[in-house]
Structure 1
């Protein structure tokens, strides 16, 4: 009996499986993967190197329940707010984990298939996906110790009995890279005796064992559910730690990259418009490897941007920011960067390794502490505590300078930071609190006992409406940032893959040139990163003499191409030879 030749999809899938599971029947496992995903083996491969985004793409990062209104599901409240207030300036919503959880504000998932009833239901998620691209978190490295899977593990029944990574407490695990200070292993009583399970993050977050292909199959089932509910962008949370081999660092292992390629293969064959984003809060050069050969992540987080940009704005010196950006390779077509300054977590410090000196890092940390920030640490392989992240709201992080402390330039500094992020190569992502200028929430820190709660404020919708409709700094921030986003989304030179060159204009002025993919629009972005007026000559920018140049921020036209420009503290210009048409609200 002759067997039908294997399809291209089957061959590619088997190649990944062979590297991950060399002793198993790869053909049978491939068949199981495809049937679990409801995927026809004859499905054609999507064309590679497609840009699934353009300059109009801007992401909002938020918890499902950040906005609350009495008598309404938080997901419904969020959808109504985004649709009525932000449709003109964002295209995508990153919903942080919205499942039942036991700790870590959602990242200890108890049930991957259910929406937390306190936030809403799947219909709310699907409804949001009809108006915006929705990114969901795939918390793939670990799950809650209170999940059904872990209860089954302790009882010795499936699914779950073989789902978690066990280790010998006497093994040499000194090389393991950790993002936390808690002990790596947790002792657990099971039906078969005492076991030690691997916990990269906390003892409530038990690491899954992807050496067991049943775990892969289970996650394919989960991903398919998310796709069916309208989710098209996938954030692979903490994915760098996915595969473990005792005696190694257990981070960024080849099998981890192979697993990402496999998941991307499956997802993009099911939904060619789907996008994979890897969350890898690690040193910059390691982070870049998650692009693969344009066959792993479509987008990677620009984790070095928040600490370097904030450092530039509080010190008035942008040299490190420039040097880092000059070292960043232009992303291949079909890949790009996700730019952000603030998130639900803190300002990561590992991405500054090799970029800031110890003295500069200490100055940054002390400045943030002065502005109300907290410091979280991690344990190094040598057992030493090392700064891991600064926990602070972006509004407070930019409340002053390192040398003077709090000052009158907080708003200008804040808007300058937003203006930098919007203009850089990549897709900008705004944490919801960065749209409101939300302050440090010390009360929430006291209530939860966790430093990260400082930037996870819950807004009552009536209070937020009042803050946005009266003369407050919240109103000023919201109106200014959203107006700037409307301008940004209309400029072809801000396409995530448009050309970018860093300009050299001294340590106080941060500047770069962007050019649209069709080369018709050129745009020079120049920022004063200091609390003093700064001057430059337009002759330094090599403006095309035959074009009319307009600052898209102030709408001022510059007819004298050799003239002198003065930028007030933290002021910036977007000088363009053509103006994109801004859509009406």
Structure 2
């Protein structure tokens, strides 16, 4: 059948498989997604989010309660403690796995029995918009597919990427320092398989169209279970061609576009997010022309924001903010400060100098953090900082400021919540969890430092006993609930960076209908700062007040005194909006 959908799919496939007869593959993909070939694509440049949207990132077992499955406990947490401050939840890989805390998937269509089952996942999906990982670049060496690869039978015989020691792999970009190729003994001899991340995570070969079909089948299954947001994990490395960098290749981008075409024809309100922890310019390419990822992670924000607060200077954060292009309607940034992995350093390349980077790493190390490395040429380069966000902000580069830790922590989140984009909180940032050094000793993995497991009882105690956990959590709840009511904080609302010196980071947001303005002003230093309101150009006919404290500012020419790390959201209007999360 000749329809707009079939023509669009053929156009994608001609880029991915230029030598193939792609007509039968088009029919197979449409059938696998159970699509009507005559279905129409949704309108372009349509925002599927608004200011109410706030995402939680968590493992399925980050919080546990004795005697019940962790996914049941997570649902209780979402229902009770977090119901009024979140619209969506990203449950990190909840499938059977062999390593990397879930990112070495054994079976894509099963739930790890220790966490629960698909019924538990679907229950959460009915309460919050559910984001799930599509671990698309690689699969566990203990999977049935890889066992079939070794036995030389289908499905799996030709599903994994192979290479030889004679191939030109000198330009391959790696996020790890382990060997790229791993020898594997198969029933017809030794083969060298491509392992971008670890020998247990064998890269899939999308040069085989049946691998693409298998993943489309997985996508359709997830949609049926209630998943509406797809995180394409490590997608930048998807396509490999010896003699190239094997990152961001044209076929990789086209696979993302094809998946979007298939998903939006069947589920027009589903969202694709690409996880590409790379320098900023490379990351931005995954928007395409509003026809690729709906949302991309703002990977440069964590290192620049944390560096800003440790150094007391917003020079680099401000330069970066001014250079960021506004996301087109129908696309958005996902803003976060910390994740389950750590604070990536590659996105700060060419933004921080070598001296600043060394000072940054040294400060984090003094606060108990660690450094993971990647291989570049013949040397290892710092790749990410492994540390909890709470401890990352323990002190400043010049030392002696640990008593201001909570103020720095809240300032970081206030900036993140106000910036253009959708805010996301890693669960251990929301609860101000400390470094888990015992878990690192147990697993011998740096990333375990920020993957603590709370008991529900201990967490509830910590959130009610006056601890820093309670102080941080209650302050963040107030900020989140305040933000969710303001149309000027819509992810696509106008943003301009203000010039208030190096110690004060500020920006202006205006709602899409221009009914509300917010001037977000943040003292990022450990000292008191003065800011003249006249430099902000407040409209004198409006009444201005701070959304955070309710304090009024009637004199547009007055001078503000900002305490260390104090933040203001100066607005001419306040809204008490009803919850309207990501469209269903």
Q: Residue 486 of structure 1 contacts residue 583 of structure 1 at CA under 8 Å; is this kept in 2?
A: no
Q: How does 1:19-38 map to 2 (within 5 A)?
A: 19-38=15-34
* Residue aligning to 2:582: none
Extract structure 1 runs of 4+ deviating beyond 4 A.
none
Alignment of 1:500-511 (within 5 A): 500-511=495-506
The 1-side partners of 2:166 and 2:246 are apart by 17
1:179 aligns with 2:179: no
Write the mapping of 1:525-564 to structure 2, written as runs, cut at 5 A. 525-564=520-559
Q: Could you say if the C-alpha distance between residues 32 and 582 of structure 1 is closer, same or farther in structure 2, counting changes exceeding 3 Å?
A: closer
TM-score (normalizing by structure 1):
0.98
* Correspondence for 1:232: 228
Q: Tell me by how many angstroms 1:82 deviates.
A: 1.0
Structure 2 counterpart of 1:196, from 179, 192, 216:
192
Structure 1 CA distance for aligned equivalents of residues 15 and 349 of structure 2: 32
CA contact (8 A) 1:486 1:582 kept: no
1:40 deviation in Å? 1.1
Task: Quote the Cα distance in structure 1 between the aligned partners of 2:266 and 2:222.
Answer: 12
Is residue 2:140 matched to residue 1:144? yes
Closer/same/farther in 2, CA of residues 582 and 469 from structure 1, 3 Å limit = farther
**Which of 353, 358, 361 is 2:354 aligned to?**
358
Q: Deviations over 1:254-273 (max 9, x none)?
A: 00000000000001111000
In 1, Cα distance between equivalents of 2:262 and 2:233:
18
Contact conserved, 1:374 with 1:451, CA < 8 A, in 2?
yes
Whole-angstrom distance in 1 between the partners of 2:279 and 2:516: 34
| 1:582 Cα deviation from its structure 2 partner | 5.7
Partner in structure 1 of residue 450 of structure 2: 455
Of 338, 355, 358, which residue of structure 1 is paired with 2:334?
Answer: 338
SS of the residue corresponding to residue 403 of structure 2 reads coil
Whether 2:66 is the aligned partner of 1:83: answer no
1:192 positional shift: 1.0
> Does the C-alpha gap of structure 1 residues 147 and 406 become closer, same or farther in structure 2, counting only changes over 3 Å?
farther
In the alignment, the residues of structure 2 paired with residue 409 and residue 192 of structure 1 have an alpha-carbon distance, to the nearest angstrom, of: 63
Give yes or no for the alignment of 1:54 onto 2:41: no
Give the aligned partner of residue 71 of structure 1. Answer: 67
Number of the residue aligned with 2:96: 100
Q: What secondary structure does 2:96 align onto?
A: coil
Q: What is the distance in 1 between the residues matched to 2:41 and 2:501? A: 48
Structure 2 residue aligned with 1:446, among 441, 448, 453?
Answer: 441
Matched, 1:282 2:278: yes
Instruction: Give the TM-score of the pair, scaled to structure 2.
Output: 0.98
Structure 1 Cα separation of the partners of residues 210 and 189 of structure 2: 23
After superposition, give the CA deviation of every residue in 1:224-282 in whole Å (9 maximum; x if it has no partner): 01000000000000000000000000000000000000000001111000000000000
Q: Does 2:524 align with 1:524?
A: no
The structure-2 alpha-carbon separation of the partners of 1:405 and 1:211, relative to structure 1 and needing over 3 Å to count, comes to farther
* Equivalent-residue separation in structure 1 for 2:148 and 2:290 (angstroms): 38
On the 8 A contact 2:401/2:526 being kept in 1, the answer is no
The reply to whether residue 435 of structure 1 matches residue 430 of structure 2 is yes
**Unmatched tracts of structure 1, length 5 or more:** none
For residue 480 of structure 1, what is the aligned residue in structure 2? Answer: 475
- 1:447 deviation in Å? 0.5
Confirm or deny: 8 A CA contact 1:308 1:320 kept in the other structure: yes
Q: 1:367 aligns with which of 363, 376, 383?
A: 363
Q: Who is 1:327 aligned against?
A: 323
- Out of 490, 495, 506, the residue aligned to residue 490 of structure 2 is 495
Distance 1:197 1:520 in 2: 57
169-178 vs 105-114, which deviates more?
169-178
* CA–CA separation in structure 2 for the residues paired with 1:294 and 1:251: 21
Do 1:61 and 1:431's aligned partners in 2 also have CA atoms closer than 8 Å?
yes
SS of 2:227's equivalent in the other structure is coil
1:395 is aligned to 2:390: yes
Instruction: Compute the displacement of 1:64 (Å).
Output: 0.7
Residue pair 2:521, 2:568 contacting (<8 A) in 1 also: yes
Aligned-partner Cα distance in 1 for 2:392–2:575: 33
Alignment-derived partner of residue 374 in structure 2: 378
Q: Cα distance, 1:23 vs. partner?
A: 2.1
Residue 426 of structure 1 is matched in structure 2 by: 421
> Given the alignment, which residue of 246, 252, 262 partners 2:248?
252
Equivalent of 1:349 in 345, 352, 355 = 345
Q: CA deviation at 1:578?
A: 0.2
Counterpart Cα distance in 1 of 2:513 and 2:390: 37
Give 1:383 shift. 1.9
Shift of 1:55: 0.3
Deviates more, 1:573-582 or 1:415-424: 573-582
Residue number among 141, 150, 153 corresponding to 1:154 in the alignment? 150
Deviation of 1:506 (Å): 0.4
For structure 2, which runs of at least 5 residues remain unmatched after alignment? 580-584
1:60, 1:356 → 2: CA distance?
A: 29
Q: How does 1:461-476 map to 2 (within 5 A)?
A: 461-476=456-471
Query: Does the Cα contact within 8 Å between 1:88 and 1:583 map onto a contact in 2?
Result: no
Partners of 1:370 and 1:405 within 8 A in 2? no
1:202-221 aligned at under 5 Å gives the runs: 202-221=198-217
- Distance in 1, matches of 2:478 and 2:160, equals 48
Q: Cα RMSD (Å) of the superposition?
A: 0.9
Q: Distance in 1 between matches of 2:378 and 2:174?
A: 10
Structure 2 CA distance for aligned equivalents of residues 559 and 83 of structure 1: 41
Separation in 2, partners of 1:230, 1:99 = 16
Whole-angstrom distance in 2 between the partners of 1:193 and 1:405: 61
Contact 1:371 1:406 in 2 (8 A): no
Aligned partners of 1:268 and 1:116: how far apart in 2?
Answer: 28
